[in-house]
Structure 1
């Protein structure tokens, strides 16, 4: 008998056979090796039914459940053949070999579901004059979407279909599954309610929806009701509580998340008693200001589980007495050093004095041979801020894992004035040089090793509020390794806005020091800087566009390049791929006559996107390659200049762009490995004016991957890694290519200032045959096997505290009920 509980995820009727019911489940905590065949029984009341059992243990199982933070190694699919007439039965049961019931449904529920289409509405969003409805519907027949007003008069709408890998994995019994995802954009025209019809010709559903996204909570409640009909009240209540809990967000959600993720008192006590050989000395530097919060800072230091530290406070003689009144009961004298601030006026000058005199003391100790072998570290604690009790301990543990680390930073949040509430957590990327050049994302808590601090030089008070930005940039320039601890260990009380002019100045000085021909200028978003590169060279860029018929899309793409693109030195290489319409070849001749920069090369083998791309690159003359889909259109005329600016850097191998759907919502703003279990595009569906979490949509930054719908790369790098892998015929070839380039040490950059439309899925085929589905699953398995370590460890440019389920960088889910 299995010791672990069997969990049924959800039941649904077979797509092709409505007299068969499909149950999918797994054994909870299945760390042990599970057999391929298990003994299940299904009963209608007391009558045993015929069943078929299939099990899956490939990588697609792991990626399917990973987004729920579940470790499932084997999935069981039980197909129950039901009688034609269900009216005489009351309940359906699924039992294990020992007779225990693990699933139960009322027949009245099943009869209602039997004739319904399998579908789900996942989001309804207003974009001003229009409304966008997204969702999925699973059928072996093509899905058609219609929109009506309340009088059932048809309305004009834009519908796009796209594949949903998670749906394909859910309906494994399907012999063929048409692209199940859909997005419907409909003009509102003052209407508050409309009707959405989803049909496959045989089954149809009509769903009323609101034209505003103000009632998003209502949508979730409707989803909970739908779930209840399928799974019963008990499971639905648990699911609804967890979904609504995640939806609440903001302070309430984060406070609960924080309490769950804080170390216990038992763990803190264990840390205090721990004896370790590695005990670097930490100097905590604080520029004193006459604020009553200094007591909170003192208490947070007193509570540290790591004891090898000293608090260095810079203040005047007059301030010292008041300071000591506030901290003497918390900080013993041997852990305190007061540095006179005479002549050091201003907050930044006091930081400079504290760091300078601390380093002088360390040099004197080294000269007198009083210094221990373990290096000392410096960190800055603002007088109004506090640390978590295990902040120093956790940072020291990170230092111990990497002897080459010169800098270390952590995540942070904001603390209320009374010190009781925490909010606005900042969950950061691992070291991200291009994000740092867009904004000072590192912030607090920052620790620097003493020798690295000497190399970095003095704190520069003349930079005013951007002195910390200047210091971090200078430290990063010489650091051998920069570590990131993805835990909220520092709590900030807001001290006002940063000066933008100083930020541009420190960035420009940084570019001079590192020898990059670039300058920073303001962006439309305060606190974010736009770097403009000024390379002397104008190398040839080969724009590679694969195409099969669809000349209207291709014409839009090519004409926007010819009329809008400001970069002077490029060629267009159209890779003809098995077109069948005579008008296509006539159009090619017209293009060649229109502009001498346009060439047509012919791929005469079967479709394989990777091989076609490699073929196009081999026929390209440019030093740089721009891979471009035929269903794109230029928005910013200097997009090629923007992308080339980054791509010409020695440390960069790839640059991607910000892409929009036709309704001005985000289609691509960087790819996150592990999102959804495999990989996914962050912020997809966000409005154009929304910067997303920490305004990351608006920030140039490093990502693990970008989409090849618009991807620039060095031809030499492309050839060095062997181009795209032909085993990825359609899916994941661009992500695999990006990760191969990353493995050589080159960076992948997302540049939001290069913008194009991407009318995705207009010109691609559908995953509508058993052969195509099998190919897709093979490519999923290949990708998840090849990059298993990265998927498991987590994307370094994403934060493990953020969700893998959604694309919005929201807080990682906590299950309240299980």
Structure 2
């Protein structure tokens, strides 16, 4: 019943600039700020039902309208083209965020109205020098169960535990350590209160370890945490709860940094670097692409290195898939949360940093990739709804690109290509955008005879369609 589009700005010389390629409908991003802005098409009966703009909301009347229109579940379509140009004239917020200071107060009132209409208690604050807002909900004192595996280096685990205790002000929480290394005595000496150690006798598999911890958890929320991380923000549990508490949010992830200070994770993007990768990885934490790293927003998936999930949602989807024990198990978990009717969100207000740069074990990668692609073929062949196809699909994303987006299957194939020196040598023309010979090779022998390429087997017949497209 409503349509939104991408937009740009037009300066006083008529020059177009600052193209904003938006995600599809994102409820959490809308609560963070008016990303839809001034151009939105509504059905007439919706406007009649809402009685149009409200006079007391001048300055943010369009934001108030869309907040009221989305109180009900409505079909909201996104046209991924720039259909609107916001003129940067004197006195316009398009030229300066300080042009209409009164508009921010009106927006806060509109947001707090929506919170009350939805049956919540909460206060909204503006984030200084931005168009963003943050809602502090009243959610009581639910118990949060922090579930962690053991590492060989107990000093790393100790630092993680100390950072939890230093930065946790939420009163009701427990720490569950899943001990597959049988180091109970050493663990007891460093853990202290609020910690439970459970024995795990099987061979270490991330998904099984997390599931075993979840089975003994007492919390209404489960917080799965990689012990190679340190918490670097206060009130971190509260900041995750203020998003995870929302009824339709099933899981929430956070902002992770490498130990060199660069971003490691700010949400995940389907199709990025092939199958799925971390948004903004390797970038500095600054005000990049409309402040996207600093915006509460929906994502198709978030990292399992620090993820909070409602216990009832986790149980309803049968927890972590133990067949995906090493690669893409967090993406799989999030996609199943979506399929169960809940959303996944990212918050920038919780920050953690890696302690060490641990090298991943790639021994099971091919089998895990194959299983994941087969399971989620119907999702991977479509664009990520929370990432605009007009933006780049490499190197952390959120770069503008003049190239048309590649079909999803082609990005999966190119991920394999750029990891294989032999394929780059055999088909150098791929670098110039000529994919026909590579596709012929895949169709004739690649998938059948190549141990790595076999991960794309679920798409076997689709390659012939691609070849027709790129041979024209």
TMscore range, shorter length: 0.7 to 0.9
Aligned to 1:542: 145
Q: Name the counterpart of 2:241.
A: 644
Q: Counterpart of 1:659?
A: 256
Q: 1:712 to 1:787 in 2, by over 3 A?
A: same
Specify the alignment match of 1:631 in structure 2: 228
| Alignment equivalent of 1:514, drawn from 118, 122, 129 | 118
Q: Please report the RMSD computed on the Cα atoms of aligned residues, expressed in angstroms.
A: 1.9
C-alpha displacement of 1:433:
0.6
1:586 alignment partner, one of 180, 185, 207 = 185
For 1:555, what is the secondary structure of its paired residue?
Answer: helix
For the pair 1:789 / 2:364, whether they are aligned, the reply is no
Determine which of 459, 467, 489 is the counterpart of 2:61: 467
Which digits, 9 at most, give the CA deviation of each residue in 1:364-416, with x for residues without a partner?
Answer: xxxxxxxxxxxxxxxxxxxxxxxxxxxxxxxxxxxxxxxxxx11111111234
Alpha-carbon distance in structure 2 between the residues aligned to 1:814 and 1:742: 30
Q: Pick from 479, 493, 501: which aligns with 2:87? A: 493
Asked whether the equivalents of residues 409 and 444 of structure 1 are also in contact (C-alpha less than 8 Å), the reply is no
- Describe the shift of the 1:765–1:666 C-alpha distance in structure 2 as closer, same or farther (beyond 3 A): closer
Look up the match of 2:314: 718
C-alpha distance in 1 between matches for 2:179 and 2:128:
40
Give distance in 1, aligned partners of 2:432 and 2:153.
Answer: 51
Give the Cα–Cα distance (whole angstroms) in 1 for the partners of residues 58 and 356 of structure 2: 47
Matches within 5 A, 1:189-588: 406-419=1-14, 421-495=15-89, 496-497=92-93, 498=100, 499-535=103-139, 537-578=140-181, 584-588=183-187
In structure 1, how many angstroms separate the alpha carbons of the residues matched to 2:42 and 2:242? 31
Q: Could you say which residue in structure 2 is the equivalent of 1:317?
A: none
Q: Does 1:812 align with 2:401?
A: yes
Counterpart of 1:604 in structure 2 is 201
Classify the secondary structure of the residue corresponding to 1:676.
Answer: coil
Structure 1 stretches of 5 or more lacking a match? 1-405
Contact kept, 8 Å, 2:281 with 2:395, in 1: the verdict is no
Asked if the contact 1:672/1:795 (under 8 Å) is kept, the reply is yes
What's the counterpart of residue 465 of structure 2?
none
Structure 1 CA distance, aligned partners of 2:30 and 2:174?
A: 34
Kindly name which structure, 1 or 2, has the bigger radius of gyration based on alpha carbons: 1
8 Å contact kept, 1:686–1:692: no
SS of the equivalent of 2:162 reads: helix
Query: Quick one: distance in 2 between partners of 1:760 and 1:411?
Result: 40
* Greater strand proportion: 1
Q: Distance in 2 between matches of 1:472 and 1:748?
A: 21
Partner of 2:288: 692
**Contact residue 675 and residue 805 of structure 1 kept, 8 A:** yes
Which residue among 264, 269, 273 is the counterpart of 1:672? Answer: 269
Give the secondary-structure state (helix, strand or coil) at the position aligned to 1:793. coil
Cα deviation digits, residues 515-543 of structure 1 (max 9, x gap): 222221021342111111111x2121110
Partner of 2:338: 742
- Distance, in Å, in 2 between the alignment partners of 1:585 and 1:480 is 53
Query: Is the contact made by 2:167 and 2:236 (CA closer than 8 Å) also made in structure 1?
Result: no
Q: Secondary structure at the match of 1:411?
A: strand
Aligned-partner SS, 2:273:
helix
Superposed displacement of residue 673, structure 1: 1.0
What residue number does 2:212 align with? 615
CA distance in 2, matches of 1:807, 1:523: 25
Contact 2:240-2:308 at 8 Å conserved across structures: yes
| d(CA) in 2 for partners of 1:744, 1:479 | 16
CA contact (8 A) 1:674 1:804 kept: yes
1:697-719 deviations in Å (ceiling 9; x for gaps):
11111111111111000111111
Aligned to 1:777: 366
**1:664 Cα deviation after fit:** 2.5
Q: Deviations over 1:42-77 (max 9, x none)?
A: xxxxxxxxxxxxxxxxxxxxxxxxxxxxxxxxxxxx
Instruction: Give the structure, 1 or 2, with the largest relative contact order (CA under 8 Å, sep 6 or more).
Output: 2
Q: CA deviation at 1:418?
A: 4.9
Given that 1:804 and 1:812 are in contact with CA atoms closer than 8 Å, whether structure 2 keeps it comes out as no
Closer/same/farther in 2, CA of residues 416 and 649 from structure 1, 3 Å limit:
closer
Shift of 1:687: 2.1
Corresponding residue for 1:244? none
> Structure 1 residues 723, 664: closer, same or farther in 2, change over 3 A?
same
How far, CA to CA, are the matches of 2:73 and 2:209 in structure 1?
Answer: 42
Deviation, 1:645, is 2.1
2:135–2:242: 8 Å Cα contact kept in structure 1?
no
SS at match of 2:146: strand
How far is 1:427 from its partner? 0.4
Output the CA distance in 2 between the equivalents of 1:676 and 1:513. Answer: 41
Distance 2:432 2:205 in 1: 46
Question: In the superposition, relative to structure 1, how do residues 780 and 760 fare at CA in structure 2: closer, same or farther (>3 Å)?
Answer: farther
TM-score by length of 2: 0.80
1:755 maps to 2:351: yes
